[in-house]
Every structure is written in structure tokens, then in C-alpha cells.
Structure 1
């Protein structure tokens, strides 16, 4: 029987994985004036989805298919994350996700991930495997998370109508599916050949954001 309930649990924004504390770079973009309304938010989310969203989804799917390769995957993901602030944020989210998984879906690879402190995409793949979710579904989860987190943050940061924001997420559904399919296609290849799409402005903004004394979100 397919693990549809487990998939829904992982996709639920109320799952205690720590994602609510992160804006995915949106807070810095709002502060800089690059995102100020719904149209600009769509541009931000689409750009994020096709860059760091694609990379994260590919690594999550690969970790789901081969959780025993988490160390190698983590090294490759580090090589694609030039910002120390982004690496730290990803590991914090990974730690929160693994902490929840040790209670909900305990297992050998989950325990190993807890010891090695993997980043969020790799952690998601390991946890998805423990939950019985497929690599393709994991890619979709990761791609969706890459835009749903910042979209949720936009409601607080910009005071946008939550109905319109969720309508925007629905409108990005086809793009999200496309990115997930592209990411899942890398599942069986060598870790070194996983996507390396970049978003330099997100990296720069993350470093600036980390130096702020007052902020609403951790990243």
C-alpha cells in the first residue's frame, strides 16, 4: 500500500521540522525592495524554484533512493552552497527534521543522519525513505517546500492576503511539478552529476541577512 498518509504528514506545514522559522531569503529581498507585492513575489518564488529548488529536490530524491550515500551527498551539496549562512540554515533545518523523524519514523539511517548533521534536502530524503515515500514524491515535496515556506513568510513580511498567496502557489503548480520531474531524473546518477543551478543573489543576501541584529526569520 502506498504511503500516502506519510506523504501528507511530511507535506504538512505544521510538521515540527523548523521550516516556519525560515523565509528562504525572502526577508532580505523584501528589505532590499526587490519583493514588494504579489507579482514580485511570484517572480521570486519562480526563480527560487528553478535554482535552489531544483538542486534541493534532486538531492532529496537521491537521498531517498540511496540514504546510505548521505555523506557523499552532503559533500556535494556543500560544494553547491557557497554561502556559509545558507549552509548553517540548511543544517539547522535538517537537524529539526531529523529530530522529529527520530520519534515519528525511527530507523538506522535516521539515527545515522542525526549523528552526521545533514542539511535539510538530504535529511528530507532520508526521512522520506524511512516513511516509505518514493524518490519522485520526495522531489515534489522538496520543490513544494522551496516555495511554500517563502510564500508563508510573505504573508507576515508584506501583509499580503493569504488567499491570494495560496492562489499564487496553486498557479505555480505546473512549474513545481516540472521541477520535481527534472530533479527525480537525477536520482540514479552519480552524486557529482546532480544539478548545480545557482542563485548568487540569494547567497549574497543570506550573508547580509545573517549580520542583522533584528530579524523576523532565521534565514
Structure 2
């Protein structure tokens, strides 16, 4: 059942609002940094090894039962962009709302960042910290990949081919996230800057 639950939670159709976020891709497309498939591949790989590693580590710790308030503060310190903080908390809130309708979740004092919420929901669903980390790592690339099809009109078969090609790296990032001695603080300044610019737009396709 845990394998089935893992697939359910990682599915982009899980009703937690993930489809409304591009993971910074919309801003990257507007800036001309991502135009074609090779650009997308570089974007996804960079995101996986920065935001993906951080998200996976925090999700694993939350799933293992670490204090969510402490984790949330630590993740706040690793998220310099106010726009990214708002987006992460909005996604976390939506995920907890969906999770509460399916599983029995513990009380969480505040609207946590998305990786923290993911760890809480994963634990309630019976997943392990390693599975929570894998779900988080996968989500950091699958969301932007899906957004790329809408933003750039890329061939969805080719885009999913990119995702398939990242399988070993995604596994490695998830494994690293569960074995680190300290919570990682990998940064992606261009994503932070792009998120602030993106938040100022009057018209946009994605919330982040």
C-alpha cells in the first residue's frame, strides 16, 4: 500500500494546487533563459540539485517527526524571496487541506512551507522519510516540466523523456537528502530574483 500511496501523493493530479505553480519556469521563459528542450533540461537539473535537495531533506525530516515549527523556521531562513515564501506556504496550506480529507493529520500550528507539509502528510499516509524525500525531489522537476508544455508548447513526449532521463539523479538527490548530517542550504539566486519579478506582473499564467 505504501507504493500505491507514494504514487498517489506524487501524482500531479492530487488536489493540492500544484498545477498552478511553475517552480520559477514562467519567469525563466519570460527572461529568455528557457526557450527549447535543452534549456529546460538544464533548468530542471539545476532546480533538482538546489531546491530539490533542500525540499527533499525537509520533507524527510518532517516525515520522521522533527518539530515542524523548527523546520519551518529553518526553511524560512533558506528562502530569501518573500514571493517564494508566500508561494511555498500557499502550496503547503493546500496540501494540508487535501491531506486532511484523506488521512488523519496531526495539528500543525501555522501554515508550513510546502516541503514541511509534504513530510507531515507523507507520515500520516504511512510513507517513510525516504519516500517523502523522493516525492519532494520528483515534484521539483515534474511541476516545471508540466508547465513547460503549456508555456512553450513543447512536445510532451520529449518533456517526459527529459524527466525519465533524470530518474537516477532524482533517486540520488532523495538518497542524499535522507543521509545528510545537517539540513542543506543550497541556493538558486536566479530563482529568487525571478520570483520577485514574477510576483510583480499584473498578468501571469502561474501563481509562481
Q: TM-score range by the shorter chain?
A: over 0.9
Note the C-alpha offset of 1:13.
1.0
Aligned equivalent of 1:171: 165
C-alpha RMSD of the superposition: 0.9
Note the residue ranges of structure 1 that are not aligned, 5 or more in a row: none
**How far, CA to CA, are the matches of 1:160 and 1:63 in structure 2?**
35
**How far, CA to CA, are the matches of 2:22 and 2:78 in structure 1?**
20
Aligned equivalent of 2:18: 19
Q: Would you say 1:208 and 2:207 are equivalent positions?
A: no
Aligned equivalent of 1:130: 124
- Secondary structure, in 3 states, of the residue corresponding to 1:24? coil
Aligned equivalent of 1:40: 39
> By percentage of residues, which structure has more helix?
1
TM-score of the two chains, using structure 1 as the length reference: 0.93
**How far, CA to CA, are the matches of 1:199 and 1:4 in structure 2?**
31
TM-score of the two chains, using structure 2 as the length reference: 0.98
Aligned equivalent of 2:90: 92
Aligned equivalent of 2:6: 7
Aligned equivalent of 1:116: 110
**How far, CA to CA, are the matches of 1:196 and 1:54 in structure 2?**
9
Runs of 4+ aligned residues of structure 1 deviating over 4 Å after TM superposition are none
Q: Deviations over 1:173-208 (max 9, x none)?
A: 11111111100113xx5xxx3000000000000000
**How far, CA to CA, are the matches of 2:6 and 2:91 in structure 1?**
18
Aligned equivalent of 1:79: 77
Note the C-alpha offset of 1:132.
0.3
**How far, CA to CA, are the matches of 1:5 and 1:34 in structure 2?**
37
